[in-house]
């Protein structure tokens, strides 16, 4: 049975209601079959590697994966596990932090556009221009009207990228506040995770509901045919990796790629043996 990626996709004009989506759900896989899910993801990873190589070799398509989520929802874990083994020459990660003074002196898409993928590249945005309608909104740096204007800009920007040959997939990792609490606690308790703890995450956590509504509005306003959002129940890390791998495979398989035609006469070429080639 094919994996139901369609069920995870936000259709254009859908009104997203995150509270109605179970963060522990596992659509398309038996929730009790974690080890089978992990094995399945490993097999998908092999296919992903092969398709990414084809993307790079063909050098025609551009793929952009946008990852957004609350802190500790698994953006870094997704990048580490889903893209495990892909060729780093053709895959780039762009992480967007608090903007610098220089970045703030430009429009909010300025720093983003510079990182969009070139031909043959797959670029993963770890946070993105969506922060400018999420954190910025929750902090009250822009009002509702301004946010609506930005939704329009973002739709236009993404439409332009798509029209010019970029395939866009946007992924929201949906976790519960209880799961976030456990993961943040682990960052405090486990020495090798201490480095991941950022006290600022607690400030964002204190505004949980405002973030959830900002995400709902942003995803409802910007999920289009060309640049759809997918909402991934992400409390179970193994399911998160499985679902995202399935979605990316769907997208890459949909590109109908092929290796470039070999140059004429390759079959006439003989590679000389070392002793003759070097005259020894
Ligand atoms: P992290 O991804 O956990 O390393 O944290 C990056 C931080 O940068 C998060 O707190 C984001 O909310 C923040 N950030 C990213 N983009 C923006 C932005 N455009 N405006 C304000 N804060 C941002
Ligand atoms: Mg963080």
Query: Who surrounds ion ligand 2 at CB < 5 A?
Result: 71, 198
CA 207 to chain centre: 24
- Tokens standing for residue 198: 């950022």
Q: What is the pLDDT of residues 227-263, one digit of tens each?
A: 999 999 999 999 999 999 999 999 999 998 999 999 9
Please tell me the pTM assigned to this model.
0.96
Answer yes or no: is the C-beta of 200 below 6 A from any ligand 1 atom.
Answer: yes
What 3-state DSSP class applies to 263? coil
Q: Residue of the nearest CA to atom 14 in ligand 1?
A: 98
56-74 per-position pLDDT tens digit:
999 999 999 999 999 999 9
Q: What is the pLDDT of residue 16?
A: 98
Percent pLDDT > 70 in the chain is 98
- Pull the structure tokens for residue 259: 């290796």
**Separation of alpha carbons 4 and 172, rounded Å:** 16
Give 272 or 73, the one with higher predicted confidence: 73
Query: If we measure between CA atoms, which residue out of 220, 211, 96 comes closest to residue 154?
Result: 220
For the cut 90, the answer to whether the pLDDT of residue 279 exceeds it is: no
User: Does any ligand 1 atom lie closer than 6 A to the CB of residue 111?
Assistant: no
Is the pLDDT confidence value at 276 over 80? Answer: no
Q: What is the pLDDT of residue 272?
A: 84
State residue 80's pLDDT score: 96
CB 36 within 8 Å of CB 239: no
pLDDT tens digit sequence for 69-107: 999 999 999 999 999 989 998 999 999 999 999 999 999
Task: Give CA separation, 184 vs 179, 196, 201, 238, in Å.
Answer: 9, 9, 9, 19
| CB contact set of 53 (below 8 Å; sequence gap of 6+) | 87, 90
Q: Which pLDDT belongs to residue 273?
A: 80
Q: What is the distance between the alpha carbons of residues 2 and 253, in angstroms, rounded to a whole number?
A: 14
pLDDT value of residue 24 = 98
What is the spatial distance between Cα 263 and Cα 265, in angstroms, rounded to a whole number? Answer: 7
Residue nearest to atom 2 of ligand 1 (CA): 97
pLDDT digit string (tens) for 143-173? 999 999 999 999 999 999 999 999 999 999 9
Residue written as tokens 């900002």? Answer: 214
What pLDDT, on a 0 to 100 scale, did the predictor assign at position 280?
62
User: What are the DSSP E strand ranges found in the chain?
Assistant: 62-69, 91-95, 122-126, 166-174, 229-233
Note whether 168 and 66 are within 8 A (CB): yes
- Report the pLDDT value the prediction gives residue 277, as an integer from 0 to 100: 67
Which residue in the block uniquely carries the two structure tokens 């092929």? 258
Task: Tell how far the Cα of 74 is from the centroid of ligand 2, in angstroms.
Answer: 10
Q: Evaluate: CB of 71 within 6 angstroms of ligand 1.
A: yes
**Cβ of residue 195 lying under 6 Å from some atom of ligand 1:** no
């Amino acid at each position: 049975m094919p994996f139901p990626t369609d069920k995870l996709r936000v259709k254009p004009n859908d009104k997203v209601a995150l509270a109605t989506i179970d963060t522990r759900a596992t659509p398309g896989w038996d929730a009790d079959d974690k080890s089978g899910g992990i094995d399945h993801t490993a097999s998908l990873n092999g296919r992903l590697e092969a398709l990414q190589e084809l993307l790079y070799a063909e050098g025609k398509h551009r793929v952009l994966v946008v990852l957004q989520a609350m802190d500790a929802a698994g953006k870094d874990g997704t990048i580490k596990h889903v893209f495990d083994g892909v060729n780093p020459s053709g895959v780039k990660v762009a992480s967007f932090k608090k903007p610098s003074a220089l970045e703030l002196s430009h429009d909010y898409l300025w720093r983003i556009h510079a990182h969009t993928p070139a031909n043959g590249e797959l670029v993963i945005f770890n946070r993105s221009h969506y922060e400018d309608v999420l954190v910025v909104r929750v902090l009250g740096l822009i009002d509702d009207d301004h946010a609506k204007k930005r939704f329009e800009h973002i739709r236009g920007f993404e439409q332009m990228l798509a029209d010019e040959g970029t395939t866009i997939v946007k992924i929201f990792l949906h976790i519960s506040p209880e799961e976030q609490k456990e993961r943040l606690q682990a960052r405090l308790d486990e020495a090798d995770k201490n480095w991941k703890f950022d006290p600022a995450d607690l400030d964002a956590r204190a505004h949980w509901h405002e973030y959830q509504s900002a995400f709902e509005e942003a995803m409802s306003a910007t999920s289009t045919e060309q640049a759809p959002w997918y909402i991934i129940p992400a409390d179970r890390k193994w399911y998160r990796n499985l679902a995202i791998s399935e979605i990316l495979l769907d997208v890459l398989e949909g590109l109908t790629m092929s290796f470039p035609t070999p140059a004429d006469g390759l079959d006439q070429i003989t590679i000389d043996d070392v002793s003759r080639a070097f005259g020894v």
